[in-house]
Homo-oligomer: A and B are copies of this chain.
Amino acid sequence: MSMRRYLPILDWGRRYDRATLSNDLVAAAIVTIMLIPQSLAYALLAGLPPEAGLYASIVPILLYAVFGTSRTLAVGPVAVVSLMTAAALGHVAEQGTMGYAAAALTLAALSGAILVAMGLMRLGFLANFLSHPVIAGFITASAILIALGQLGHLMGIGGGGDTLIELAETVWHGLPDTNPITLSIGVAAVSFLFWARRGLGPLLVKVGLGPRLAETLTKAGPVAAVAATTLAVWALDLSSRGVAIVGDVPQSLPPLTLPDVDPDLVSQLLLPALLISVIGFVESISVAQTLGAKRRERVDPDQELIGLGAANIGAGFTGGLPVTGGFSRSVVNFDAGARTPAAGAFTALGLAIAALALTPLIHFLPKATLAATIIVAVLGLVDLGVLYRSWAYSKADFAAVAATMLLTLTFGVEFGVSGGVALSILLYLFKTSRPHVAEVGRVPGTEHFRNIHRHAVQTDPRVVTLRIDESLYFANARFLEDLILARVARDKAVRHVILQCAAVNEVDLSALESLEAINGRLAEMDVKLHLSEVKGPVMDRLKRSALLADLTGRVYLSQHDAINDIIPETPSQARACAPT
């Protein structure tokens, strides 16, 4: 039982049959073709040699197939995580050095260890502290940074910079050095890829292909761009005219590598690894759950942490870089009919063959083509509409989106995501620290009590009833104290205060002490404090305190009971008032 919990492969593996196999094989073939250029491109985005991207898509996929719970998630290097990898490694080593590649291994292994630890401790819920506005703002801003960063490669001047301003400066200062041939290749590739997304499928159908085959071939658009530009560079000897090419890529299966465990390096990479883990997990789990829901397959967040953790540890030991479940490749895998993680295993096999046999063919592949692939992929992630949607719904959510975007663009990915999380927590605390409190009165002829400012209700000058629309805890305890004392101080007729607590889900020790203080100060003013509609769990806890013994008033099950008991003559008044 426990074995099956931690090894989902035991579950689906036993029921594997020929029909599933053929579905999985077809999907694997399509995904492999899609992943070859993507893997190379995201390795370059992370500042690593292109083969690292291939390696990161072989063993990690196999490990995820063993430990992961999603049937169709495709794991490998993805854009945002590769950008975060580049930012993290930039602090500890120079791009292109041995130390840089070694640090990438440490980062992947560290991130894997964090994910596995979180999974074993069942801390998957921690990802919830990344609110949707923060994620949306972060992904959009990252995509803009990535696209801008690739502009340099498109112009043949190289990339550089972690923030919008640094990247813009690099491009601006590089303008005079633009290589026109590189730029032409890049622009052509970008145009072709954008066109291929929408125009290639219909065209293929027009020339007589079946719609399904046409759609599959559309996925090969990037491969076509790679093949065409590589051929052009080779045939016209463009690399001698300044076009940057990928160059020699070793013909090899993933090597066995040992991550550097130097304590200094580990401590420098710990925080970035944590951020990468959390961002990667959030991206991955939402893809996995979306696809899982479509086929009623269950995805277990805690086991997903273990699956992704194993994949990243695998990446750290086989020359890779941090990986996670990618959105577009998983959708392609799903649409292509993948049934089980075995499809992933076959994809890994396909990429292993590519790493062994096809690498000589990409010697002349221009980096501008890879940059074009990245730009087209990430521009699909830019969602500026979230600014409008959040503004329409709530200013606090808008503030979180806008601040996360601004912080990410201005100070880079690490500051952006941590700042966004901190800000959304602060905004939430701020909101709950000034809770909505309504003074209520009885709706004539009913047992209902409503806001005196919204409804025509009956009240008694001797009684103030306040409905508290928030849990009481340290951040709003003093607010409540001030509010009640101010309300009573300006109205000498008041003899009773009733707190209607139906929406109070929690009273912590600070709030308890505030209630005791309110009770004491009201007593000095000769005003009684009553509670009504206290929830079961809250009441259980209040019974363990001195408040109920000290309370000058009583605790009532309903607000109706409270009013009837405190001013017994009210019902007749109510009847008298009702006709007016």
| Chain A positions near chain B (C-beta within 8 angstroms) | 125, 127-134, 293-294, 296, 298, 301, 389-390, 392-394, 396-397, 424-425, 428-429, 431-436, 451, 454, 469-471, 473-479, 482, 485, 489, 502-503, 505-506, 508-510, 512-513, 520-521, 524-525, 535-537, 541, 544-545
Contact = CB atoms under 8 A, between A and B. Distances in A.
Contact of A125 (B131, B479, B505, B541): B479
B132 A510 contact: yes
Contacts of A478: 125, 127-128
A100 B503 CA distance: 52
A328 B525 CA distance: 25
Chain copies in the assembled complex: 2
Query: Which 5 pairs between the two chains have the least Cβ-Cβ distance?
Result: A131-B474, A397-B509, A132-B510, A469-B505, A131-B510
Contacts of A471: 432, 470-471
A125 B433 contact: yes
A510 to B, nearest CB: 4
A502 B503 contact: yes
A192 to B, nearest CB: 35
Contacts of A428: 429, 473-475, 508
Given A128-B474, A470-B471, A536-B454, A510 B392 contact: no
Contacts of A524: 293-294, 296
16 contacts: A125-B433, A128-B474, A133-B510, A293-B524, A296-B525, A389-B509, A392-B544, A393-B541, A394-B508, A394-B509, A425-B425, A428-B508, A435-B505, A436-B505, A454-B536, A502-B503
A451 B535 CA distance: 11
Given A129-B429, A132-B510, A470 B505 contact: yes
Given A125-B433, A506-B431, A524-B294, A545 B393 contact: yes
A481 to B, nearest CB: 8
Nearest to A125: B433
What secondary structure prevails in chain A residues at the interface with B? Answer: helix
Contacts of A477: 128, 132
Contact of A132 (B128, B474, B476, B536): B474
A534 to B, nearest CB: 12
A436 to B, nearest CB: 6
Contacts of A525: 296
A199 to B, nearest CB: 31
A474 B129 contact: yes
Contacts of A469: 505, 535, 537
Given A128-B477, A428-B473, A512 B393 contact: yes
Nearest to A511: B132
Contacts of A541: 393-394
A500 to B, nearest CB: 12
B131 A390 contact: no
A118 to B, nearest CB: 14
A454 to B, nearest CB: 7
A446 to B, nearest CB: 12
Given A133-B509, A509-B394, A128 B502 contact: no
A125 B434 contact: yes
A132 B396 contact: no
Contact of A474 (B424, B485, B536): B424
A524 B290 CA distance: 12
Given A131-B475, A392-B544, 20 more contacts: A128-B475, A128-B479, A129-B433, A130-B474, A131-B473, A132-B509, A132-B510, A132-B513, A293-B485, A293-B521, A393-B544, A394-B541, A397-B510, A428-B474, A432-B471, A451-B536, A454-B536, A470-B471, A471-B471, A502-B503
Given A394-B508, A474-B131, A429 B425 contact: yes
Contacts of A506: 431-432
A124 B522 CA distance: 23
A476 B128 contact: yes
A470 to B, nearest CB: 5
Contacts of A513: 132
A525 B479 CA distance: 45
A202 to B, nearest CB: 29
A513 B389 CA distance: 11
Nearest to A546: B389
Contact of A390 (B432, B503, B509): B509
A298 B510 contact: no
Contacts of A482: 301
A471 B471 CA distance: 9
A132 B524 CA distance: 23
